Amino acid sequence: MPQRLLQIIHSYIPIGFVSWLLTWPIPSYQSTERIILFAAFVVVPLTLFRVLLSFEQLQQHVVFIKLCIYLLPVSAISLMFSFLMTPGILSGFLSIPWCVVTFAIAWKGTQLIRSASTLAEISKAIAFIYISIGGIWLVGHQFSMPILGFKGEIMLLTVNHFHYAGFVVPILLGYLYPYIKQLRLSKFIVILGMLAPIAIALGMTYSSILEWISVILYTATLLFYSTLVFIYIIPKATGWTKGFHIASSGIVWVTMALAVIYGYGQWIGSNTISIAAMVLWHGWGNAIIFAFLGILAWHTTIMDEETERIPFSKIQGKGKIGHAIFDRLQVVHHSCETPPTGLIDNMQDYKSETFDPCILDEEVIDFYEHTENYELLLTPHWSKAFAIPAKLYKLFSNRVEQMNFPLKAETTEQQVASRILPIIDGKDSRKSVRAWVRTYTEINKTI
């Protein structure tokens, strides 16, 4: 995967979220339309890229990812303008680009299901296929063309259903499955999650009893999902990841209770909960908290697992860092027999089939092996665009003495002294650890 492509993907979701927020001052959007736009700008791209980036054979999906990078923003903006208009010919045509995106995702889903080797992969592939049903109903609504006798608001609710219940939920279950596959009911839960969204839609169309039964089974599936996340995932999660999982898996008890009450009302022919109330509480709760935070939780879970394989230091500082931080934390190995003097001990340790240290200049090697013997001369060159932000940042970094870069306004160059400190391996969790402390010579502050 090209690095530039990864940078675009990682910046896509924040930009999409801000773009969606900018639609809020527009009063003509209905709540249902705002939820669909949230899917188009944020949830679908986040979910789609998260699934595709999880595959080991990522190179096989690069062309499709590039296609999505171009299609997703254009189609989401087109849909945004479509919702500003009364359903009709122009509104319908403007909704077609998003429908094309859903069909492209579904086409990818058919490819994934043919190559799937686990139930988790099948569940994710089914989700990719389901979203195209939402695209069809979206175009039907925007062209003001009834589908199966349905028209108006119920069509937009169907669009929502297949963008969230149909697309997101099977993917969430797909991510959970590897952690619970030792349980007897694990396969049954995931299969229910795959079948329930389409069963609910069929029930709404042909049979209130089927709809009621499907809603019960779907609710049970999500409650199982929530319970298993609390048992198997949350205890091992930390920080933001734990918070995302708790919020997502917790809210589903509320939103699913509303769904059961609504489904029961449809069965007995009584309006127990209005559609407006369902959109407000069930719709927004599922869209923002359950779906968005749920996918975000699994994204951070995967990232946490990947970073566990990276040998990060366990040493952490709080508040002011400064040059004395290691002494304050009592992690310096003062009794070290041969204290290190450089960033590395011997450049020859890095010799491999792709790298020969002999090609390096002797002074370069000496710098890395005896860093303490060198003083650095720092000459800052700030981009004009960062001139003001850099000054604001300097107010903070100068107090903390960490990532404390010089400003051009201070001086054109600054002399930096280096110290290499031996660190106790047991405190850091790695072997032969050393700290490189760089201090401005003139002001005795740490970079």
Q: Are 297 and 339 found together in one domain?
A: no
Q: Are 226 and 332 found together in one domain?
A: no
DSSP notation for 357-405: GGGS-HHHHHHHHSGGG-EEEE-----GGGHHHHHHHHHHHHHHTSS-P
Q: How many domains does the chain have?
A: 2
Q: Are 56 and 165 found together in one domain?
A: yes
Beta bridge partners of 102: none
pLDDT for 2 equals 61
Q: Which of 438, 404, 433, 439 is nearest to 314 (CA)?
A: 433
Q: Which helix (H) or strand (E) holds 351?
A: none
Q: Are 215 and 200 in contact (CB under 8 A)?
A: yes
Q: Which of 46, 147, 63, 153 is nearest to 104 (CA)?
A: 63
- Is residue 381 domain-resident? yes
Question: Quick one: tokens of 388?
Answer: 């003001």
Q: Are 265 and 182 found together in one domain?
A: yes
Q: Are 275 and 350 found together in one domain?
A: no
Q: Which of 30, 251, 56 is nearest to 155 (CA)?
A: 30
How far from chain centre, in Å, is Cα 276?
Answer: 30
Pick the last residue of a domain from 282, 308, 334: 308
- Is residue 316 domain-resident? no
How far from chain centre, in Å, is Cα 425?
Answer: 34
Q: Are 119 and 127 in contact (CB under 8 A)?
A: no
Positive or negative torsion for Cα 356, 358, 361, 362: positive
- Residue 272's CB is within 10 A of a number of other CB atoms, namely 15
Pick the last residue of a domain from 273, 308, 343: 308
Q: Are 261 and 330 found together in one domain?
A: no
Q: Which of 300, 199, 198, 212 is nearest to 248 (CA)?
A: 300
CA distance 139 to 150: 13
| Greatest pairwise CA separation for the chain in angstroms | 86
Question: Quick one: tokens of 53?
Answer: 């980036």
Domain of 372, in residue numbers: 325-440
- Is residue 358 domain-resident? yes
pLDDT for 148 equals 83
- Strand residue runs (E) in 115-180: none
User: What is the spatial order of strands in the sheet that 375-378 belongs to?
Assistant: 375-378, 414-422, 434-440
- Is residue 245 domain-resident? yes
Pick the last residue of a domain from 308, 338, 369: 308
Q: Are 108 and 239 found together in one domain?
A: yes
Instruction: Report which DSSP code applies to 181.
Output: T
pLDDT for 411 equals 54
Q: Are 20 and 37 in contact (CB under 8 A)?
A: yes
Q: For every one of its 447 residues, what pLDDT tens digit does the chain have, with 9 covering 90 and above?
A: 566 666 777 778 889 999 999 998 988 888 889 999 999 999 999 999 888 887 767 677 788 888 888 899 999 999 999 999 999 999 999 999 999 999 999 999 999 998 888 999 999 999 999 999 999 999 999 999 988 877 888 888 889 888 998 999 999 999 999 999 888 888 989 998 898 888 877 877 777 788 778 878 888 899 999 999 999 999 988 888 999 999 999 998 888 777 777 767 767 777 777 767 776 777 788 888 999 999 999 999 988 887 777 777 777 777 788 778 888 888 888 888 788 888 888 899 888 888 888 898 989 999 998 988 888 887 777 777 777 777 788 788 878 878 878 776 455 457 788 888 888 888 887 888 888 888 887 777 787
- Is residue 413 domain-resident? yes
- Overall size of the chain counted in residues: 447
CA distance 157 to 153: 6
CA distance 36 to 156: 8
Q: How buried is 283 (Cβ within 10 angstroms: 0-12 exposed, 13-18 middle, 19+ buried)?
A: buried
Q: Are 299 and 208 found together in one domain?
A: yes
Q: Are 243 and 272 found together in one domain?
A: yes
Q: Are 210 and 267 found together in one domain?
A: yes
Q: Are 377 and 425 found together in one domain?
A: yes
What type of residue is 228?
A: L
Q: Are 274 and 169 found together in one domain?
A: yes
CA distance 230 to 248: 11
Predicted TM-score (pTM) of the model is: 0.75
211 CB-near residues (< 8 Å, 6+ apart): 200, 203, 204, 263, 266, 267
- Is residue 447 domain-resident? no
Question: Quick one: tokens of 56?
Answer: 């080991």
- Is residue 315 domain-resident? no
Q: How buried is 406 (Cβ within 10 angstroms: 0-12 exposed, 13-18 middle, 19+ buried)?
A: buried
- Is residue 445 domain-resident? no
